[in-house]
Structures are given as structure tokens and as C-alpha cells.
Amino acid sequence: MTSVELLIWVRGPGLQLSLAAFILGMTYRILQTYFLGRAKNLAEPRGSEWVHGIKTIWWRSFFHPGMTVRGYFTIISGYMFHLGFIVTLLFFDQHIELFKSWTGLSWPALPPIVITVTAVLGIAALVAVLVDRFADPVRYLLSDYQDYLCWTLTVLPLVTGLLLAYKIWLPYTSLLTVHIISFELLLVAIPFTKLSHVFTIFIARWYNGAIAGYRGVQS
Amino acid sequence: MTATAANDHQPLLFNAEPILNEIRHGLDQLLAAGTATIIDLQRLPFGVDDEQHLRDTLGDGEVHATIDSLGKSSVQETGVAGVWWVTHYSDDGAVLGNFIEVTTIPEILKSQRPDIEHGLRKLRTNLGADRSTATAQE
Amino acid sequence: MVKPASLAEHLECHQVSRRGFLKFCALTTSMMALSPSMMPAVARALEKARRPSVIWLSFQECTGCTESLTRSHSPTIENLILNYLSLDYHHTLQAASGDAAERAREAAMSENYGQYILAVDGSIPVKDGGVYSTIAGVSNLEMLQHTVAGAAAVVAIGSCAAFGGLPHAHPNPTGAVPVQELVHDKPVVNVSGCPPIPVVISGVLAHYLTFGRIPDLDSYGRPLSFFGASIHDRCYRRPYYNKGLFAETFDDEGAKNGWCLFKLGCKGPTTYNACATAKWNQGTSFPIQSGHGCIGCSEPHFWDAGGFYQPLSAGIGSVGTLAGMAVVAGAAAGTAAGRLHQAKRKQAQRQHEKVTVADLEETDS
């Protein structure tokens, strides 16, 4: 298979199959979680479960002083990575073209230079947390192969995308192919690894918020 | 062109600056070692305003020559002495080649040895013919 | 007429001076996309160059490649090159037809056996014994195999001959294949493009004429001097790409300002060709300069590489059906797994029995 044939495959069947795997996996995971069910609470709630559930999904995204007793490293690197990754994914014009081809929706892009900064910040944060994972004996002991797999699958699209944007090391065709493959691997892996938190975190937050919103029994 | 009209205040340049720098380097070389540099402008991708920018920056010099061999060619020294603009045209006036030569005189302006020899032969033949005519008249 | 032995003599016959020869060398060097510093070497080689015979075979093609060549924009110089080549067989251009034409081919082959250049445009259908395209009752496949045997080198002209092109596009009903899939024991130069740039065709022929061998090739067998850089790398609109300034439609402000055409489907980044420097239509412009994105016509399988107006970063083909199927399958599997889990839990609850202190003491002992 030549590099052109490979690119046609990854842009065509490869992308369709990985997106299908992602959708299938996520639907499976979400429904499976839903059917786990919650113990029925027969008491009338005093507050609103739904409102608090939704509020918590939103408010938990922000840092509140006093949220940590273990220092700021995890918090700062965590925000840096997540914001860097999401902004790079959603606000680079070429990515928007992909989402537009899938959904018909599009939105304004950020200038490429800003995207370069967010991607570099994302990579820097990922490197920092990996170093920390090795340096901290407790974290090191707690880590298994899936943590390293997820780390690799997450960093690859950022690194290959940066190489592609500046045409470093390989010709554009090869870099584009590698970049799309790295994205497809990530798509396939998300539902079946702890990366599924991209969706399940909202369920978990809603559940937490809903419990808090219950506020005891209506009397 | 629409593109130019919309960008009147801000010329669209792509390769003009690198070429000007290559010319500057070529002039250094010419002064230091006497080496000539030829830049093939048709091998370089140009933006809409690149060629005009080059012409404006280099200006117009003292020598304008036209060669008529295998179509017309124009050889012009630019306002920067030692920088020549050589353009070759086809019979119907289309540009075939566009070169900048950094040299004291472009090779193609010089008389070429085979042509000189050919000319000399022709002259000798003519002179011989004249002499024989003259002898015959005596 | 006695054929001139070398190019120098040929030019002398045309009463071209040494100065004219120098000009010819400068333009040929430029045509071959070589550095001007190569000019003296080109001049030395051209002085001794011998007149090569060219046999041109047209198979499954649209004649666009020949049209392109005959409209090459530098008549003086290219005519000299092309006149100097002995184009002994080209069924579209030659005056002879029918049996006479085929006899001319046989004659050129036997006179120059092992020496001639074989130019091919069009792909070769091989399905069902190659019956889908024949010339004078001979299948393209057979004619190629017969003619290539005595060739010194093969120049595959156009994307059909180089990569299969349109006939090879999915579902390829005639089983069309490019020249390089059938010719393995002769050097093959691919001059791709739909059509190829005329100056690239004559440049390759000039290279063979000058140096007596084919030029350096890239991994797809294309001459590096023309196909060494992508359209994107040589594009004057590249600065706009770098700044993220794109035309969104063909008539918006961005299009009028000459911004990058990536979002309108330009395949420049993955396409290798010399359009930005060689240009088209007597050197007027090239597609991007005229406001249309590159369609990638010099790359293999360009007909199957997605829509011409679909950005490179978007996928090929629609994802709707497969995505819908994935939702249904995921929902079914998720519901089944959830229900199974619930059933298990209920069963566990049914089997649940109270444990007394006595039971525990029993177990301990």
C-alpha cells in the first residue's frame, strides 16, 4: 500500500469505522451505566435533583480555593492539559471542517498561532504529569499499563498535529496520515478505557449534584 | 486582477525578499571573488506582486540591449550596477525565460568564439572575392 | 533528407548562432528545472546529443495529454526539441493511418531496436484478456508488451498511464492498470497530471536527449526536479494558510482577497507538481492563482480521494448510516448488558438469606 492509498483509507473507511466504534462504545457504556439503576428513594425531596445535578456539572469545572490539600501541581497541570486539548480540538479551523462534515455545524476558529500555544501547553502538561507519575512513589505504584496507554494515545494526536502544522520530519501526506490515525486510535480507545470519563464524568457529576440537591425530605 | 485591486495598500509578496537577498549575496561574491550568479526566476513561485516589487526595488539602469537569435531577448542592466535582467521571448512574444544575472556582463552579450570564427571565415571569403574581383579588373 | 547526427549540427542546419545555442541551453536547463549553474554541463552534453526516436502509444485516454503537449507555450524552443526528436509513431498526430501507421511503428521499432523512447498515454485494460481497448485489432496490453521489448526507456505521460487515472477509478470496470504495473524490466518515468504540464513532458524528453538517461525520480517514479515540492510549498497563498485566513465560498471577501483555498477543498498540501512555477495557458496562471483549489490530479487515485470541494481535513464519504447503525448496536448491547446485570442482581437478592451469629460461629470452627 502506498502512502496515498493509506491516506485515502484513513480518511475514508478508517475514519468511519473508528467513529462508529466510538459511538457504539459510548452508547453501550452510557446505557449500561444507566441500567445499573439507582436505589429508589421513596421520600419526597426538599430540593431539586435535576437543577443541582446540572449546576454541579457546570460548577465542578472551576477551581475553588480549598479544593486541595495536596498542593497545586495536579490542579494546574490538569487545567492546562484539559483546556489545551479541548481548545486545540474544537477551535482549530481544520478540525472544525471535520466536525462540519459530520454534523453540518461550524463555529469561529482561533488563529493557528493560538492553537500552537494551546497544543504546546497541552503537551507540556502531559509531560509534567508523566514525570510526576514516575517521581511520586505512591502514584508510580498505583499506575498500570492502562494509564500509560491512555497517556500515549492522548499525547500522540497533539504531537503529530504540531508536527503536521509545521511540516517537521516527514512529508505532509505522511504526517496527515499519522495524525488522523492517532486520532482514530484515540476515538476507538475512549469508550473502553478510563478515557471514557469524557462522557461519564458528566453522569458522575450529575449524580453527585443530584444527591446534594436532594436536601433531605420535603416536609 | 481582483486580488491586486483588493490589496492596493498591501502588496502580496512571496519570494521577492529572498531573491533580493540572494542578489545582495551574489554582489558580495562578485566583488570578492568575481563569481557570477544566475537566478532562474521561472523556477521560483511568484506572488501576484513579486515581479513588480523586484523591478521597483532594482530600478532601471544604463544598458538596454536586444538580441535577435532564436527569438528576441532583452538584456537590461538594472539600477543596481552588476545586476542584469535577461528575458527571452518566443517568436510570438511570449516569455520563455526570465533570469537575473549578477555579473559584470552577461555571457550571452559577449561575442562567442565559434561565431567570431564563422564571421572571420565569412570576411576572409568576402575579402578574397573582392581581391580576385580587383585583380580581374587590373 | 539526411538526419543530422548531433543536436549542434541540427541547430547549425537551422542557422542558429552560438549565442542562440547558449540561449537554447539556458532555456533547456530552465525547462528541465535544473539550477542555472548546470548550464555549462547542459551545453557540453547538448553539443554531443544524438537524435532519439520516440514511439508514442495512446491507450485508454482522452487525448488531453497530447492536446496539452501540442499547446506547450514556448513554441520556439520546444519545437526545436520536439523537431529534433524523431516522433515516429503517434496515431493522433501522424498523417498515416490504418495499416500504413502500424507499419511505421514496426519500421521505427526495427530501425532503433533497443534505442527508442516509448511514450505512453492512457491506462491499459487487462480484464477479460484486455478486450476493452484495441488498436488495429491488437489489444493495448499486447501492443505495449510488444513495443516495450525494444525500448530504452518508457515515459508514462498523464495520470492514466502513470497511475491508472480515470479508467482505474472505482469500480474500475475494465481492470485498467498503469504502465508501471506491466513494465518491470525497463526504466519508467511517470509524468503524471490530468493533463500533465507540457513543459514537464518536454523537460523529461529534453533530459533524456541531453544526458542520455532518465532524470532522478521520486517514490512514485516522477521526475524529482518537477515533482520534488508540493503545490502547497510553492503556493504564493501559503502565508494566508499559515495565518488561518481562508476563503469560505468562491465569492466571499476572502476569495476576493486571494486567501487560502484549503476550506474549499484545495489538495495542494498532498499534491506534488510544478504548476506554481511552470504555470498553464502560455504562462498565464495556475488553478490556485485563478481562484480554484488544486484537485490533486497528479497524485495516484485522485478520483477516489474524496470530493474536489471537500477539505483535506474532512473525511471521505458520509458517516451518517454507519453512525446510525453504531448507535442502534451500542444501544442494543448496552441495554442487554444492563438487563442481564439487573437480572443477576435480582437473582442474588432472591437467594439472599439472613446470617445469624450461630452460622458465623459454625463457619469459624
At B48 the pLDDT is: 77
In terms of Cα–Cα distance, which of C24, C14, C89 is closest to C58? C89
As a whole number of angstroms, the distance between CA B80 and CA B100 comes to: 12
Q: Are residues C207 and C69 in the same domain?
A: yes
Q: What is the pLDDT of residue B3?
A: 43
Spacing of C-alpha B115 from chain mean position: 19
Taking an 8 Å cut-off on Cβ atoms, the answer to whether C77 and B91 are in contact is no
Cross-strand partners of C60:
C123
Same domain, C283 and C158: no
Is residue C269 within 8 angstroms of chain A, CB to CB?
A: yes
Residue C293, in any domain of the structure: yes
Long-range contacts of C4-9 (CB under 8 A, 24+ apart): C4/C51, C5/C50, C5/C51, C6/C47, C6/C48, C6/C49, C6/C50, C6/C51, C7/C46, C7/C47, C7/C48, C7/C49, C7/C51, C7/C84, C7/C209, C8/C46, C8/C47, C8/C48
Bridge partners, B74 (sequence order)? B66, B87
Pair C184, C268 in one domain: no
Residue A124: inside a domain = yes
* Pairing mode, strands B83-89 and B95-102: antiparallel
- Say what the pTM is: 0.86
**d(Cα A179, Cα C254) in Å, to the nearest integer?**
28
C196 and C259 assigned to the same domain: no
Q: What sign results for the dihedral spanned by CA atoms C336, C341, C344, C350?
A: negative
Chain A residues near residue C322 by CB distance under 8 angstroms: 16-17, 19-20
Identify which has the larger pLDDT, A218 or A36: A36
Q: What CATH number is associated with residue C256?
A: 4.10.480.10
The rounded distance, in Å, linking the Cα atoms of C7 and C18 is: 12
Q: What does the pLDDT read at residue B114?
A: 87
Of C227, C258, C274, the one marking the end of a domain is: C227
Q: Which of C17, C25, C234 to mutate to test the interface with B (most CBs of B within 10 A)?
A: C17
State how many domains chain A has.
Answer: 1
Whether C196 and C76 share a structural domain: yes
Could you tell me the residue range of the domain that residue C139 belongs to?
50-227
Average pLDDT on A89-114 reads 94
Regions of chain C with pLDDT less than 50: 1-2, 4
Asked if the structure places residue C340 within a domain, the reply is no
Nearest CA-CA partner of C174 in C107, C108, C127, C111: C127
Residue A76 lies in a domain: yes
Give a yes or no: residue C356 inside a domain.
Answer: no
| pLDDT of res. B36 | 92
Contact A195, A25 (CB under 8 A): no
Over 60: is that where the pLDDT of A126 sits? yes
Per-residue pLDDT, C219: 92
C256 and B44 within 8 Å at the Cβ level: the answer is no
Mean local confidence (pLDDT), A68-86:
88
Taking CB atoms and an 8 Å cutoff, what residues of chain B touch C30?
Answer: 40, 42-43, 97, 99
Residue with cell 480540538: A89
- Using a CB-CB cut-off of 8 Å, the residues of chain C touching B97 are 23, 26-27, 30
Shared domain for C205 and C265, answered yes or no, is no
Q: Which residues of chain B have pLDDT under 70?
A: 1-11, 133-138
Same domain, C129 and C195: yes
The phi and psi torsions of C246 (rounded to 5 degrees) equal -125, 145
Class of domain B2-105 as given by CATH: alpha beta
Helix spans in C59-135 (H): 64-70, 75-84, 98-111
Nine-digit cell at C178?
498503469
8 Å CB contact between A175 and A164 = yes
In the block, which residue shows the cell 426538599?
A: A46
Beta-bridge mates of residue B86: B75, B99
- Give, in degrees to the nearest 5, the angle at Cα C33 between B86 and B89: 35
Burial of B21 (0-12, 13-18, 19+ CB in 10 A): exposed
pLDDT in tens, A166-196: 988 888 999 999 999 999 999 999 999 999 9
According to the model, what pLDDT value does residue B2 have?
A: 40
Q: Are residues C205 and C246 in the same domain?
A: no
* Mean predicted lDDT score pLDDT of chain A: 90
Neighbours of C220 (CB within 10 A): 18
d(CA A33, CA A46): 26
Contacts of C334 in chain A (CB under 8 A): 27-32, 34-35
Query: Does residue A65 have a pLDDT over 80?
Result: no
In a domain, C165, yes or no: yes
pLDDT value, residue B6:
44
- Binned at pLDDT 50, 70 and 90, residue A107 comes out as very high
Domain total in chain C: 2
pLDDT digits (tens, 9 = 90+) for C195-243: 999 888 888 888 888 888 899 999 999 999 899 999 999 899 988 999 8
**Spatial contact of C323 and C297, defined as CB atoms under 8 Å apart:** no
DSSP structural state of residue A130: H
Per-residue pLDDT, B137: 62
Q: Where are the domains of chain B?
A: 2-105, 111-138
CA angle (C360 as vertex; C354, C365 as ends), nearest 5: 155
